[in-house]
Amino acid sequence: LDNKEEFTHTTLATDVMRPRRGDQPLTVIEQEGMTVGDLEHLVRTTKYNGFPVITSHESQQLIGYLYRRDLILALENAHHNNEHVLSNSLVYFTLHAPTPSLGGANDPVPLRLFNIVDLSPITVTDHTPMEIVVEIFSKLGRQALVTHNGKLLGIITKKDVLRHIAQLNKQDPDSILFN
Ligand code: ADP
C-alpha cells in the first residue's frame, strides 16, 4: 500500500470494515467451548486468512487473532501427536489449562491452543479515520480488527482498504494490483 499520495477523504474505519449491514456476522472463535470438530468445520467452510478470538459471544471482548494457517497446522499436529484428540475434544484458547476431568482412558482429551493466538493484533476503533488506517497498513500488517470499548465489531484487510480507495477514486477495483 503506497502512502505517498495523501489520503484526503473523511471516511472512518466503521465505513470500511466488514461485516457490512446485512452481511453475515464475523466468523469468530470463542476462547472456550469449541471442539476440534467445530474448528475443522470453520477451516473447511471459510476462506478467511484468520479469525478473531473472543471471550464469548455475550461479551464480544477481543482476545487476539488466529491465523488460518496456524490453526490448520496446530490441528494437524494435535491429531498426529495424540490419538485421544478427537472431533469432540474441547479446545481452550486460555492461559490456564482446564481442570483435568476424571474421564476414562478413551475419552477425548482437551486441547490447549493459547500459544498460537496473536495476542497483539493491530486494532483500531470504529471512529478511527481511514487516513490513519491507510497509514498503519502502509507500514505494517495485512489486517486490523475494529473494536468499540474493547468489543469486537469488525475487521479491515489490506484488500478492503485498496477496494475502498478504488471506489473513492471511482476506479474499477479489479484494475488495482493487489500484492
Ligand atoms: P483478503 O481481504 O486479503 O482476501 P480475507 O480472505 O481474510 O483477506 O478476507 C476476505 C474478506 O472477508 C474481507 O472483506 C474481510 O474484511 C472479510 N473477513 C476477513 N476475516 C473475516 C472473518 N473472520 N469473518 C468474516 N469476515 C472476514
Atom 19, ligand 1: which residue's CA is nearest? 48
Q: Which residue has the higher pLDDT, 107 or 122?
A: 122
**110 vs 9: CA distance, rounded Å:** 49
Q: For residue 2, name the pLDDT band (cuts at 50, 70, 90).
A: low
Atom 3, ligand 1: which residue's CA is nearest? 159
- pLDDT at position 179 is 40
CATH class of 13-175: alpha beta
Domain ranges (residues) in the chain: 13-175
**51 vs 74: CA distance, rounded Å:** 14
With a pLDDT cut of 70, the percent of the chain lying above it is 88
- How many angstroms is it from 136 CA to the middle of ligand 1? 18
The average confidence (pLDDT) of the chain is: 90
- pLDDT tens, position by position, 38-66: 999 999 999 999 999 999 999 999 999 99
- pLDDT tens, position by position, 138-168: 999 999 999 999 999 999 999 999 999 998 8
Cα→Cα distances 120→20, 53, 62, 159, Å: 24, 11, 10, 21
- How many angstroms is it from 117 CA to the middle of ligand 1? 17
**29 vs 54: CA distance, rounded Å:** 6
- How many angstroms is it from 157 CA to the middle of ligand 1? 6
- pLDDT at position 100 is 67
Cα→Cα distances 113→66, 118, 171, 176, Å: 10, 11, 43, 37
**152 vs 147: CA distance, rounded Å:** 4
Which of 30, 42, 48, 164 has most ligand 1 atoms within 8 Å of CB, for mutation? 48
